Structure 1
Amino acid sequence: MSELRFSLADVAGVRLVVSPANETVMSMWALADPVRHAVHLPWIDRARVTLRRPEVAVRVRPLVDLTRPQRWLPDFLTPAALPNMGMAEQLDQIAATPPAVVVRDLLATTPNRPLSQFGRALLGDPRGLLPQLVDAVRVWYDEAIAPDWPRMRALLDADVSYRAAQLAEGGAGRFFEQLHPSLRWLGDRVVSDDPFERDFDLRGRGLALNPGVFANRRVLWNLLEDSMPAGAYPVRAVGTFWEGAARPSGDPLARVIGPGRAALLDLLDTATTTTDLARLTGMSAGNVSQHLTALHAAGLVVRSRQGRHVLYRNTDAAMVLLRASRGG
C-alpha cells in the first residue's frame, strides 16, 4: 500500500495530461503478456508482425529487455509529460536523464527482478548507452504506436476532459476515489492499494496524471524527489477500443511500406504540412520528413507550395493502394 501526501498547493497542482512515451513503453507489457492484456489482441497481433521485422527487432531490443513481464520499469523511461507535449519532446526528456539518475532508477528495479542483459550494460555505461535506448523507444513508437495514435489520442483526450469535469465539480476527494477503485482519499492524502509501499510527500510540486490505453489493473506511480511526480491510470472505455476499428493503413499495406508511412498516407487525402502530420501522428518532424521523402520518391505523394508552407498530398497511385488495403 502506498500513500501520497498532499498540501493545498499539491491539490491545486493536479493536472491531467496525455503521455505518448507512457503508451509506447507500456505497450511492451501487452505484447509480452497477451493473456493479461487480451483486450489489445488486435493490436498485439499486428505489433508482433512488426517486431519480427529484422530491422525493427534489432533496434527495439534495448526496450524489450527493460520491459519484460513482471519487471518494474525504471522511472526515467516514463517521465511526467507537460500539457500538449509530443513524442519528440518526451524523447528529449528521456535523453536528458543524468547518468546518476539512470543508475539509481535501474537499481530501484532490482528488488523485483535482476537486471536484464541490456540493463546491466546500461548500468555500467549510462552515458554511452542511453542514446541506444532512446532510439529503441523512438523506433517502437514510429512503427507500432504512431499508426494508431490519432485514435488513441482521441480516446485519451476524451478521458482527460471527463476527469477534469469530475475534478471541477466534485473536488479532489471525489475525483481520486472515482479515478480508480484502488484509490481512497483521506483528507490530506491518497491511499493506493498496491504492492509498492511508498510513503511520499508531494511537497508542493503537484501531480501529473495521465490516462493509459495500455495501463492495466492499477495506477502506476512515478514518484521521485527530483522530478515531477506522476501517475498513469487505466483509460475509460478501452474495452471496445479495437472493435471494428478499421486500420487507417491496413495490415497489408503497413507490412509492405511500414506502419509509419502507411499512417501518413491515410492522413494525406487532403493536402497537409509536415508540421501538422507530426502533430497528428506524434512522430518527430524529422521522421515525418524522412517518410515523406521516401513516399515522394516512390510516386505516392506530391508536393506543392502555399505561401511559406510545403503541402503533401496522395497521388492517384496511393489512393489505389489505400482502397485495396482497406478492402474497398
Structure 2
Amino acid sequence: MIEYELAGNDLGEVRFAISPLHELVLSLRTLRDPGRFPLQLPWLRATEPARSGLDLELLNALTNEALWTPDFLTPRPFSPLGRIEDELTALVGTPPGVVRADLAEVHPGALPSAIRGRPATVLRRLLAALRDYWDACFEPYWTRMRTILEADIVYRGRVMANAGLAAMFTDIDPHVRLDDTVLRIHLRSDLSYRTSTAGRGLTLTPSLFSRRAATPISPDEPPHLIYPARGLGTLWQSSVATPPAALANLIGRARARLLSLLETPTSTTELAVRLNVTPTAINQHLRALQAAGLLTSARHGRSVLYHRSDLGDRVIRGA
C-alpha cells in the first residue's frame, strides 16, 4: 500500500494534469497483454498495420509481466496542456544512473537485450522508438483521447466543489481512500511506502490505459496518482443509439442524438467525429440546446466541453 500524507486537507494541495507521454508509455501494456484492456481493442486493431514498422522489441522491453514501466518515462506532469514534443525533449537530459536504475527496477533479473548497453545510447534509441510510436499510433487519435481526459478532469473538479476532496478520491477508484490527511492507495503488488506531499503537492493524472490506480515505483519520485479516466467506454464509439422517438419528434433527430450523447462532458471536435458531421453543424445545435437550458458548458484548456444539464437529464428520462 502507498500512503501520501497530505500537507493540508484542502484543494490547494491537489492539481490535475494530462500527459501525452504517460498515455504513450502506459499504452505499451496493451501491446504486451491486450486481453487486460478489452476497451482498447478497436485502437489495437486500427493501429496494427502501423506497428509493423516500429521497433517492437525495444518497446516491449519497456514493460514487464506485472505491467510496470520505468519511472523516468512517466515523470510527474505539471499541466493539463502538455505537449508530446516538450515531454520527449525533457527526457533527453535524464541522468544515465536514473536510466540504469529504473530499467533495472522493471527487470530486476537480466535486462532484455533490446535495452542493454550504455544508458545514454539506450536512452537515444528508446526516445526515437517512442517518437515513431507516437507518430504512427497516437497522433491520428490524440484529439479524441485528450477530449476524454479533459472531460474527466472537469467532472472531478465538480465532485470536489460539490462534495469535497474525500468524495472525489473515493470516486476515482475503489482502491483509493482519504483518511483525514492520509491518502491510501491499495495496490495488487507488494510495493509499499509512505511519503509526504509537503512542498511538492500531489498530481492526479487520468489515463486511458490504466485499469486501476497506480503510483511511481520509487518513493523518491514526486507524489503522483494515475487513475482510470471516466468515459473510456465511449472512446471508440462512432455513433450513438437511436434517440427516443418522442424526443426526436420534439426537437429533431440531430439534436436528440446530441442530447443522448452528452451524458459525459464532450468537445465539439469529438462530437463531430462520432456523428460524422462538421463542427460547424454541431455548434449550431449545441447553441440551440444550451439556450433551451438542456446543456451546460465548461472551458478546459483549449476546449469547451458540453454536458447535459439537470433539465436535459430529466428530458431524456421522461422521453
Which TM-score applies when normalising by structure 2?
0.69
Change (3 A) 1:115 1:201: farther
Residue 225 of structure 1 and its aligned partner are, at CA, apart by: 5.7
Alignment match, 2:289: none
Alignment match, 1:36: 36
| Cα distance in structure 2, aligned partners of 1:226 and 1:92 | 22
> SS of the counterpart of 1:80?
coil
Q: What is the root-mean-square deviation of aligned Cα atoms in Å?
A: 2.9
Q: Which amino acid aligns with 1:105?
A: D
| Cα distance in structure 1, aligned partners of 2:140 and 2:151 | 19
**1:97 to 2:132 alignment:** no
Could you tell me which runs of 5 or more consecutive residues in structure 2 were left unpaired when the two chains were aligned. Answer: 241-275, 281-300, 303-319
| Cα distance in structure 2, aligned partners of 1:154 and 1:214 | 15
Change (3 A) 1:198 1:19: same
| Cα distance in structure 2, aligned partners of 1:180 and 1:26 | 18
**1:170 to 2:166 alignment:** no
| Cα distance in structure 1, aligned partners of 2:206 and 2:67 | 21
| Cα distance in structure 2, aligned partners of 1:114 and 1:165 | 47
**1:8 to 2:8 alignment:** yes
Task: Show the 5 A alignment for 1:211-250.
Answer: 211-216=206-211, 218-222=212-216, 224=218, 227-244=221-238
Q: Deviations over 1:207-226 (max 9, x none)?
A: 1111111111x111126565
Q: Which amino acid aligns with 2:106?
A: T
Task: Show the 5 A alignment for 1:89-238.
Answer: 89-111=86-108, 114-119=110-115, 121=116, 124-194=117-187, 195=189, 196-216=191-211, 218-222=212-216, 224=218, 227-238=221-232
Change (3 A) 1:107 1:31: closer
Q: Deviations over 1:41-87 (max 9, x none)?
A: 111112222112xxx323x5422221244242110011111211200
Q: Deviations over 1:86-105 (max 9, x none)?
A: 00111022222111211221
| Cα distance in structure 2, aligned partners of 1:219 and 1:95 | 28
Could you tell me which runs of 5 or more consecutive residues in structure 1 were left unpaired when the two chains were aligned. Answer: 247-265, 271-278, 281-328
Task: Kindly indicate whether the alpha-carbon contact (under 8 Å) linking 2:17 and 2:78 is maintained by their aligned counterparts in 1.
Answer: yes
> SS of the counterpart of 1:63?
helix
> SS of the counterpart of 1:79?
coil
| Cα distance in structure 1, aligned partners of 2:152 and 2:160 | 12
Task: Kindly indicate whether the alpha-carbon contact (under 8 Å) linking 2:13 and 2:202 is maintained by their aligned counterparts in 1.
Answer: yes
Alignment match, 1:63: 59
| Cα distance in structure 2, aligned partners of 1:61 and 1:245 | 36
Q: Deviations over 1:165-208 (max 9, x none)?
A: 22233332222111111111111211111022222222320111
Count of paired positions: 244
Task: Kindly indicate whether the alpha-carbon contact (under 8 Å) linking 1:208 and 1:231 is maintained by their aligned counterparts in 2.
Answer: yes
Task: Kindly indicate whether the alpha-carbon contact (under 8 Å) linking 2:9 and 2:181 is maintained by their aligned counterparts in 1.
Answer: no
> SS of the counterpart of 2:126?
helix
Between 1:98-107 and 1:134-143, the stretch displaced more is 98-107
| Cα distance in structure 1, aligned partners of 2:97 and 2:33 | 31
> SS of the counterpart of 1:220?
coil
Residue 24 of structure 1 and its aligned partner are, at CA, apart by: 0.8
| Cα distance in structure 2, aligned partners of 1:202 and 1:103 | 26
| Cα distance in structure 2, aligned partners of 1:176 and 1:71 | 24
4+ residue stretches of structure 1 with deviation over 6 A?
A: none
> SS of the counterpart of 1:243?
coil
Task: Kindly indicate whether the alpha-carbon contact (under 8 Å) linking 1:31 and 1:47 is maintained by their aligned counterparts in 2.
Answer: no
> SS of the counterpart of 2:61?
helix
